[in-house]
Amino acid sequence: MRMPTSFSRENGFTLIEIITSIALLAMVVAVMLPIFPQIMTWSQQSEDQLTSSNLLGQVMNDVENIDLPNVPDCPGARTYGELGSFSTYQVDGRTYTVKLDVCRETDVSLNRAKIRIFAPDGKRHSEKYTYIKAGADDEASEE
């Protein structure tokens, strides 16, 4: 059997081609690596905003069912920050804080409420203004 005496250049890549392709791949990876932490931050912020928006509906239902004593007349508003189990919500292991400002409209039997949802990072993600029915104590004090 006869051994080949020369190698053909068409059978594969040369060493310089392989080194060049690895260097190009390394540059692309080096450019992309700093982007991933920012993408994770954006993803968490989007998740917090979506969770806060969904939580706002739940809080509105909860607010209608709690008794708010000594609600001041508008335009002043009392901040209800510590309302027991109402002030914080646990969602997927993260704690969202609820702040509620309420004042009583004197000409109607409604309380004006401002509900704010804060994500665990302390940023306000959702805010809603609504009216809730005044409690029995508030209606009795009007008469």
CB–CB of 112/131 below 8 Å? yes
Token pair belonging to 40: 């994770």
Q: What is the pLDDT along the chain (143 residues), one digit of tens a residue?
A: 666 666 555 678 899 999 999 999 999 999 988 898 889 888 988 888 888 888 888 888 877 777 777 788 887 667 765 555 568 888 888 888 888 888 888 788 888 888 888 888 887 778 888 888 776 544 444 44
Cα–Cα distance for residue pair 123/45, rounded to 1 Å: 10
CB–CB of 131/110 below 8 Å? yes
Cα–Cα distance for residue pair 137/103, rounded to 1 Å: 14
Token pair belonging to 37: 């932490």
Q: Tell me which architecture the domain covering 40-142 has in CATH.
A: 2-Layer Sandwich (3.30)
Entry pTM: 0.61
Strand partners, 126: 117
Q: Is the link from the previous residue into 72 a cis peptide, with omega within 30 of 0?
A: no
The domain locations on the chain are 40-142
